[in-house]
Structures are given as structure tokens and as C-alpha cells.
Amino acid sequence: MISTQRLIDLMRAVREKKPLLHVITNRVAINDSANGALAVGASPIMAEAHEEVETIAAISGALELNIGNLTPYSIQSMLLSGHAANQAGVPVVLDPVGAGATEFRLQTVQKLLDELDIAIIRGNAGEIAALAGEDWGAKGVDAGEGDGDIVAIAERVARKWHTVTAVSGAADTITDGQQTYCIKNGHPLFPYMTGSGCLNGVIQAAYAAVSPNYLEASVAASVNYAIAGQLAGEKCAGPGSFRQQLMDELYLLTEEKIRRYAAFEEVARS
Ligand SMILES: Nc1ncnc2c1ncn2[C@@H]1O[C@H](COP(=O)(O)OP(=O)(O)OP(=O)(O)O)[C@@H](O)[C@H]1O
Ligand SMILES: Cc1ncsc1CCO
Ligand SMILES: [Mg+2]
């Protein structure tokens, strides 16, 4: 069982180590992703030129690959940086945005998962269900409303690709295929901020950079991010101020807030 103290230790470790995060992401979420990374104490660099991605990935604390705006060029950027990260022992986080929306996305994600060693896959339920070959009624990049067992689906994905799988939603499910956690923090305004999942992925990378135990890293990143969102939601009027408050709450997160609000538990294996 992961302790609340561990969530606090990892939050502090990110602030102390200020890991360099190499991020290849979509143009919708790129600015919020960079600002959110800074707010939690990391140093983001958004870079996808083929001439430099291998060099940057190899010296980073973690690499995050987000397929939100895929192009043949960016796929090559992801493969080059991913292989360089793997060779250097740098953890790679993958966000399979809209994986069920087109064959192009699904095949690209499968290629990345087959060729690269991925530490954490982070997506919404529709995206993770698509990877498991399950029908979920996802709508573009939005999760949709499936009626399958998301814990069982996440565990299958984790086992198939030997990776931690983090499914976001009203409750988050994090699993390495053996141990599974359910996280109940969050706020209903989250889905109204585009890129809030993409930023979640970048924060997963920040935590993976400071913890070789990627299950712990993913649970800590997910709980701490969701607590910040919960506190932001309580202070704001709607999606516009939620986005602003979220950046503030990520920066202002404390040990006391984590102790008071963390709501996560281990769930029985399905
Ligand atoms: N209904 C909800 N209630 C509470 N928290 C939520 C809810 N839906 C999502 N979240 C939280 O919002 C964050 C983003 O998750 P979400 O599932 O919306 O990502 P996403 O669909 O990939 O987003 P995007 O593609 O816009 O970046 C997560 O931290 C999750 O815990
Ligand atoms: C809206 C949107 N379209 C491609 S990526 C993205 C950001 C949320 O995933
Ligand atoms: Mg997403």
C-alpha cells in the first residue's frame, strides 16, 4: 500500500530536483502543459525537431509523448526521442489522445508501445479502452461513457505492454497489472478545461523523473494533481477561472493539503 507520506515526499522531490522534462505534445495543450510543469517545480522543454530530439531526451529527467496533433513528422520525433530516452534510462510517458478516434492514431500508439519501453500510459477511459480493443463510445478526444469494467481493462493494458496504466476520469484508476489504486479526488470542472488530461500526463512525467517506482510516481502525480483541481474548483466561477486557479493550486500545494484531502485506496485485483 502506498502511503500518503510517499505522495508528499515525491511532491517535494519534484520541487527539489526540478527535473528537465522533454515534452512532445499538441498545439492545443502546449502552453498550459509548460506552465503546469513549472508550477509543480519542473523545467519543461517542448521540442520536436529531428535534429535535436535525441540529444534532449537523453539528458532529460523524463520524456512525455502526447499524440494529440499527430503528423508523420511528429511520429518520427517521438520514435527518435523515445529510443534515445530508453537507451539513456530516461522514463517515457505516453498520452494516447483520441486513440479510438482513427486507425491512424491507434496504429501509431501501438507502434510506439511495441517499439518503446513506456513507463506510464496515461489516458481517459475511452483511450485506454481503445488500446484494449474495447468499445467505449469515446467522442474524439473526450472519454465517452462505456459500460465495461475499467479496472479490468486498465490491468489488461498494463500487463500487455509491461507498463503502468493511469486512467483519468471522475475516479482515476492506476495499475501496474498487479496492484491497482482508485483515486477519488478531482472536480467536475476538469473536463471543461481542454488539455487538463494532457497536463496530467506531463505531471506524471515529472514524478516519474524522481521515482523509479512508476506505480508510486503515477499514484502520487494523479492524487496531487486531482487535489489541486479540487481546491481550484472550490474557488472558481467556471472553466476560465478554473484554469487559472489550477495553476495557482499546483504551485501552492502543501503537505497539509495532501494529508487533509488525499482520497485513494488500493482495490482488489479483478
Ligand atoms: N468528472 C470528473 N470529476 C472529477 N475529476 C475529473 C472528472 N473528469 C476528469 N477529472 C480529472 O480531470 C483530469 C483530466 O482527466 P480527463 O479524463 O478529463 O483527461 P482527458 O480526457 O485526457 O483530457 P484532455 O484530453 O482534455 O487533456 C484528471 O486529473 C481527472 O482526475
Ligand atoms: C481538443 C484537442 N484536439 C486535439 S488534442 C486536444 C487537447 C485535448 O486532448
Ligand atoms: Mg486526453
Q: Which domain holds residue 101?
A: 4-267
At residue 192 the predicted structure's pLDDT band, cuts being 50, 70 and 90, is very high
Interface predicted TM-score (ipTM): 0.98
Ligand 2 atom at shortest distance from the alpha carbon of 66 = 5
Give residue ranges with CB within 6 A of ligand 1.
Answer: 29, 97, 124, 141, 143, 168-170, 172, 186-188, 190-191, 194-198, 200, 225-226
Residue 69 is part of a domain; what is its CATH number?
A: 3.40.1190.20
> Given this model, what pLDDT does residue 270 score?
60
Instruction: Please name which of 78, 40, 33 lies closest in space to residue 201, comparing C-alpha atoms.
Output: 33
pLDDT tens across 153-188, in order?
A: 999 999 999 999 999 999 999 999 999 999 999 999
Q: Does 146 belong to an annotated binding site?
A: no
Mutate-to-test residue for ligand 2 from 24, 26, 33, highest number of ligand atoms within 8 A of CB: 26
Instruction: Determine whether the annotation assigns residue 46 to a binding site.
Output: yes
Residue 140 marked ligand-binding: no
Nearest ligand to the CA of 184 is 1
Index of the ligand 2 atom closest to the CA of residue 98: 9
- CA–CA dist 167, 96 (Å, integer): 11
pLDDT digits (tens, 9 = 90+) for 7-21: 999 999 999 999 999
CB-neighbour burial class of residue 112 (10 A; exposed 0-12, middle 13-18, buried 19+):
buried
Ligand 1, pocket-test mutation among 145, 172, 183, 196, most atoms within 8 A of CB: 196
Domains identified in the chain, total number:
1
Identify the CA nearest to 6 among candidates 158, 157, 218: 218
195 is in an annotated binding site: yes
Give 86's contacts (C-beta < 8 A, 6+ positions apart).
Answer: 92, 116, 117
Cα–Cα distance, 81 to 24 (Å, whole number):
9
pTM reported for the whole predicted model? 0.98
User: How confident is the model over 33-50, as a mean pLDDT?
Assistant: 98
